[in-house]
């Protein structure tokens, strides 16, 4: 078990704060190369196994996060540029709440007014989650229930809607589901982050799926 950072978008941060997001997916890197047979994408989180005639059975990727790991969420920060004689402050971009470490408000020390989440220091972390399960699967295997576990609204039509193009795509790749706007909503969120092949939803990349629970209330 270890403490590890995990980067989240503003949308995911809000879903975490609302206790709606209890699952997250991250693409397997690298993806299986052309011409190999996927033998096992383990439900125990051990990794993704492939087979080819040259190299035989091998594992090509392992999950970044393991069962029991405590994840602290990296999110974007906003602050006031330092001005002589004025105490700078900072706040979280997702919901505009001030950053507070213990009983003090830290100073903004960066020469910019926005700090991408990838650079957020651990001391500013307000969201912690414990990994309770790890598995690997193609991203299009996501169910309606799992899309909701990712933080998608149970009724997406009432929360901004989903594009017709994405709904049609989901109908094609998931013909076992007559109507799945929740998966289409998730697919649009996924594609807003992973914009290029082979990681787009329509590419159906393998992903590691992490179930999480609130570890610090």
Domain spans, the chain:
3-72+127-214, 77-116
Given a contact cutoff of 8 angstroms between Cβ atoms, the answer to whether 68 and 58 are in contact is no
**Token digits of residue 31:** 């993806």
* Nearest CA among 116, 111, 76, 110 for reference residue 96: 76
Kindly report the pTM of this predicted structure.
0.88
User: How many CB atoms within 10 Å of residue 173?
Assistant: 17
pLDDT (tens place) for every residue of the chain, 217 residues total: 899 999 999 999 999 999 999 999 999 999 988 878 887 666 666 788 777 777 777 888 889 999 999 999 999 999 977 677 766 689 999 999 999 887 777 788 888 889 999 999 999 999 999 999 998 889 999 999 999 999 998 887 644 556 667 777 777 777 777 678 899 889 999 999 999 999 999 999 999 999 999 987 6
Placement of tokens 């939803």 in the chain: 201
Alpha carbon distance 33, 41 (integer Å) = 15
* Nearest CA among 150, 75, 152, 146 for reference residue 115: 75
Inter-axis angle of helices 164-173 and 181-193, nearest 10: 110
Alpha carbon distance 58, 49 (integer Å) = 6
Give me the pLDDT at residue 87, please. 67
């Amino acid at each position: 078990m270890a403490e590890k950072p995990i980067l989240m978008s503003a949308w995911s941060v809000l879903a975490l704060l609302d206790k709606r997001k209890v699952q997250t997916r991250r693409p397997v890197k690298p993806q299986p190369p052309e011409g190999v047979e996927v033998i096992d994408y383990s439900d125990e989180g051990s990794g993704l196994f492939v087979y080819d005639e040259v190299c035989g059975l091998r594992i090509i990727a392992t999950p970044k996060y393991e069962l029991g790991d405590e994840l602290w969420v990296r999110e974007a920060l906003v602050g006031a540029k330092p001005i002589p004689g004025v105490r700078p402050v900072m706040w979280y971009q997702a919901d505009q709440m001030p950053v507070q470490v213990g009983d003090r408000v830290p100073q903004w020390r960066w020469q910019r007014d926005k700090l991408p989440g990838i650079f957020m220091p651990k001391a500013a972390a307000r969201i912690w989650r414990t990994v309770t399960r790890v598995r690997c699967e193609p991203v299009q295997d996501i169910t309606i229930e799992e899309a909701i576990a990712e933080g998608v609204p149970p009724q997406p039509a009432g929360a901004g809607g989903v594009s017709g193009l994405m709904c049609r795509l989901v109908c094609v790749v998931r013909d076992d589901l007559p109507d799945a706007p929740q998966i289409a909503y998730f697919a649009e969120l996924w594609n807003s982050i992973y914009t290029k092949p082979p990681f787009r939803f329509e590419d159906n990349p393998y992903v590691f799926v992490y179930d999480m629970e609130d570890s610090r209330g």
